[in-house]
Structure 1
Amino acid sequence: MRILDRACVIVHQHITTLYPPGASLPSTKQLALAFGLPEKHVHQGLLRLDSLGEIALHTGSLPVRLRTREPHPRDRALHGAVRDRIRTGHFVPGQALPTGLLGEEFGLLPHHVQRALRFLTSEGTLRYDEYGAYGPGHYVPAALAEAAS
Structure 2
Amino acid sequence: MSDTDLARPADMSGGHRERVSKDSPARRRRLAVAVLALRRHLRSTPTATVPHEASRAQTARALGSQLGLSQSLTAAALGVLEQCGDLAFAGDAVVMVPPGKPHPDDLAVTILIEETALAYLPGQVLPHGLIALDAGVESPQVRRAARPLIWSGLLRYRLRGPHGPGLYLRERPASRHAPVSEEIRCTR
- The normalised TM-score by structure 1 is 0.74
From the superposition, tell whether residues 61 and 108 of structure 1 become closer, same or farther in structure 2 (CA, over 3 Å).
farther
2: CA distance between counterparts of 1:67 and 1:98?
A: 26
Structure-2 residue corresponding to 1:132: 161
- Verify the 8 A CA contact 1:103 1:110 in the aligned structure 2: yes
1:1-149 aligned at under 5 Å gives the runs: 1-2=26-27, 3-16=30-43, 18-20=44-46, 23-26=47-50, 27-57=59-89, 59-87=90-118, 89=119, 91-143=120-172
- Verify the 8 A CA contact 1:127 1:138 in the aligned structure 2: yes
Q: Bigger relative contact order, structure 1 or 2, given CA contacts below 8 A and separation 6+?
A: 1
From the superposition, tell whether residues 6 and 127 of structure 1 become closer, same or farther in structure 2 (CA, over 3 Å).
closer
Structure 1 unmatched runs, 5+: none
Q: Percent identity?
A: 29
Query: Shift of the alpha carbon at 1:142?
Result: 4.5
Count matched residues.
Answer: 139
2: CA distance between counterparts of 1:137 and 1:60?
A: 33
Q: Over aligned residues, Cα RMSD in angstroms?
A: 2.6
Query: Shift of the alpha carbon at 1:67?
Result: 2.3
Structure-1 residue corresponding to 2:11: none
| Aligned-partner residue type, residue 78 of structure 2 | L
Structure 2 unmatched runs, 5+: 1-25, 51-58, 174-178, 180-188
2: CA distance between counterparts of 1:141 and 1:53?
A: 22
Post-superposition Cα deviations, 1:22-56, rounded to whole Å, max 9, x if no partner, equal x2443322112223432221111111122232211
| Aligned-partner residue type, residue 88 of structure 2 | A
